[in-house]
Amino acid sequence: MVQESNKRRIIFHIDMNCFYASVEAAYNPALKGKPLAIAGNPEERRGIIVTSSYEARAKGVKTTMPLWQARKLCPNLIVMRPNFERYRSASREIFKMMAEITPYVQPVSIDEGYMDVTDVKHLGTPIEIAENLQKQILDNLDLPCSIGIAPNKFLAKMASDMKKPLGITILRKREIATKLWPLPVEEMYGVGEKTAEKLHAIDINTIKDLASKDEYQLKQILGVNGERLKNRANGIDLSPVDPDAVNEFKSIGSSQTLPQDTTNEAEIRGLMLSLADNIERRMKRKQVAGKTVQLMICYHDRKTITRSKKLQSFIEDKKDIVYIAQDLWQEHWNQEPIRLLGITIQDIHDKQDIAEQLDLFTYEKEASKEKLYSAIDQLTTKYGKNPFKQIRNTVVQDQPRTSFQKDFLDDYRK
C-alpha cells in the first residue's frame, strides 16, 4: 500500500530525541535534566554507550563511545542498562498515534518513521498536524521528538535533524541551496564515514559540492550509490512512504561486543550460542527460515571481516546456526583477540512459503518433537527464558543488539 506519486507529496519524518534516555527519564522523572547514558555492560570498563541525554552530550558523550571515556568526560554520568521491553512499548504507542492520523506510516527503526500526510487536510495544515502530534506524544508519553516536513523522504529526514530537541522544520525544494547545500557532506543522510572519505578524496566537502559533481565520476568511486546520492543532494527522492516495507526484510542478525578482547575459545563459543539463541527466538517469532549464515568478526584493532556460507536447505534452529557459524570461525579466525562477533541469517523466507520436501523419517522425527517445542516456547514466553536450558559455556552479559531496532516495527498494528 503506497500513495500514488502523481501529486506533490507532504512527508513527515518523526525522530524521537535521545529515545532510550528519554524513555528512562519519563519512567523516572528524577533523571530529568541529569547527564544520563544507556550502555551495555555498565559494570565493565569496555561497555559501549548506546545513547545519552542532551546533558551528557553537552559534556562530549557520544553514541558508541567506550564507557570509560564517557565517564572521563562526564564524571557524574548516570549509566543504566537498556530496558528493551520498555522502549518497545513506548515505540508501539508512538506509531499508534501516527497511524491514527494516516494509514501511510513507515517505521524505519524503533524511534523514527515516515508519514505521508498529503491527503490529511481535515486535520489542519501540515504544521498544525505536526504540532499536534508532537504535543500528543509529549503529553501522553512525556517523550520529546523532532519532526521534519518536506516533499520527499530524504528532505524530511534532513529537516528533522535541523532542530533538536522538540523541533519542527520545513524544508522546501526552493530552500535547498540555503539550508541543505552549505552542510558538510558527512552530515548528509546516507553518507557514512567511509563514503565521506571517498568524497573528500575528490574534493567534495559540502552537499553543494556533491550536488554539482560529475555523475560519471561519482559512479566510478561509489557505483550506483553515487547517482542516488547526487540525486538526493539535489532534493530528488522518489521513494514512497510504504507501510509494508517493514515486512520486506531479508536477514536477521545479532552482534555483541565482548567485555574484553579475547582469544578464549570457550568464551567465544558461549557468545556464539547466545547470538544464535537470540536469532532463533526472533526467527520463530516471525515464522521464517534462512539459507545463508554470515559471520562477522571484529578484531582488537577494529579490523572487521565478514564470511558467509550458503546452504542447500533452510535452517531456523540455533544448533544449525551455531554449527555453521563455528565452522566459519574456525576456517577464518586468525587467532588475534576478538572484540565483537556477529551472526546473521540471510536469504530469509516465510516458512509458509518454503516448499521444502521432508522425507518420512525426518517428518516423523520433527513431528514427535513438536509438542515438546511448543511446551518449551510457552514456558519461555511466560518466564522470559527457557527453564530447561543449561548454561555450560562462559556467561556473556547482555549487550544491546544492533538489529533490535528493526524487530518490532509492526507492533503498533496489533
Q: What is the CATH number of the domain that holds 211?
A: 1.10.150.20
With cut-offs at 50, 70 and 90, classify the pLDDT of residue 407: low
Mean pLDDT of 349-372: 50
For 350, the domain range is: 249-413
**Of 113, 143, 171, which one is at a domain's C-terminal end?**
171
Is the pLDDT reported for residue 4 higher than 60?
no
**Do residue 231 and residue 254 come from a single domain?**
no
Q: Is 183 exposed, middle or buried (0-12, 13-18, 19+ CB in 10 A)?
A: middle
Of the candidates 17, 13, 15, 12, which has an alpha carbon nearest to the alpha carbon of residue 165?
17
Q: Has 203 been labeled as part of a binding site? A: no
> Which one has a higher pLDDT value, 127 or 398?
127
Residues in a beta bridge with 170: 149
Strand boundaries in 136-203, DSSP class E: 145-150, 168-170
Q: Are residues 37 and 79 in the same domain?
A: yes
**pLDDT in the model for residue 7:** 72
Each residue's pLDDT tens digit, 271-295: 999 999 999 998 888 788 888 999 9
Highest-scoring range by mean pLDDT, 44-58, 194-208, 388-402: 194-208
* One domain for residues 157 and 96: yes
Stronger pLDDT, 362 or 118, i.e. the higher one: 118
The amino acid present at 57, given as its one-letter code, is R
Instruction: Collect all residues with Cβ–Cβ distance below 8 Å to 232 and sequence separation of at least 6.
Output: 154, 188, 189, 190
Give how many domains the chain has, as a whole number. Answer: 3
Q: Reply yes or no on whether 112 is catalytic.
A: yes
Pair 3, 64 in one domain: yes
Residue 4 is assigned to a structural domain of this protein: yes
Which is the catalytic residue, given 112, 267, 280, 316? 112
- For residue 296, pLDDT over 60 is answered with yes
Please determine, for residue 43, whether its predicted confidence score (pLDDT) is greater than 70.
no
Q: Which three cell numbers stand for residue 235?
A: 532534493
Q: Is the same domain home to 222 and 316? A: no
Domain membership flag for residue 177: no
- Looking at the structure, tell me whether residues 131 and 236 fall in a common domain: no
Q: How far is CA 66 from CA 47, 72, 252, in A?
A: 6, 10, 26
Q: From the DSSP assignment, how many helices (H) and strands (E) are in the chain? A: 13, 13
Q: How far apart are CA 130 and CA 142, in angstroms?
A: 16
- CATH number for 161: 3.30.70.270
Claim to verify: residue 103 and residue 199 sit in the same structural domain: no
Residues 315 and 409 in one domain: yes
DSSP 179: I
pLDDT-derived band at 42 (thresholds 50, 70, 90) equals low
Confidence of residue 374 (pLDDT cuts 50, 70, 90): low
Arithmetic mean of pLDDT, 265-271? 91
Average pLDDT score, the chain: 85
15 known ligand binder: yes
Output the CA–CA distances (angstroms, integers) from residue 166 to 21, 34, 54, 160, 321, in the order listed. 15, 18, 12, 10, 43
- Residue 84 counted as domain residue: yes
Mean pLDDT lowest among 34-38, 69-73, 249-253: 249-253
Which residues, 6+ apart, have CB-to-CB distance to 340 below 8 Å?
Answer: 255, 256, 257, 258, 296, 297, 298
Secondary structure percentages of the chain, helix, strand, coil, to 5 = 45, 20, 35
Average pLDDT over residues 41-66: 84
pLDDT: which is higher, 110 or 359: 110
Helix, strand or coil, per DSSP, at residue 385: coil
Q: Helices (DSSP H) in 41-112: which residue ranges?
A: 54-57, 67-73, 84-101
Starting from the edge strand earliest in sequence, which strands make up the sheet with 168-170, in order? 105-109, 112-116, 11-16, 145-150, 168-170
CA 156, CA 281: separation in Å to the nearest integer? 35
Whether the Cβ atoms of residue 293 and residue 328 lie closer than 8 Å to each other? yes
Question: Of 324, 331, 245, nearest to 290 (Cα)?
Answer: 324
Q: For cell 541529569, name the residue.
A: 34
**DSSP letter for each residue of 351-378:** GGG------HHHHHHHHHHHHHHHHHHH
The average pLDDT across 286-306 equals 88
Best CA proximity match to 1, nearest among 109, 155, 106, 95: 106
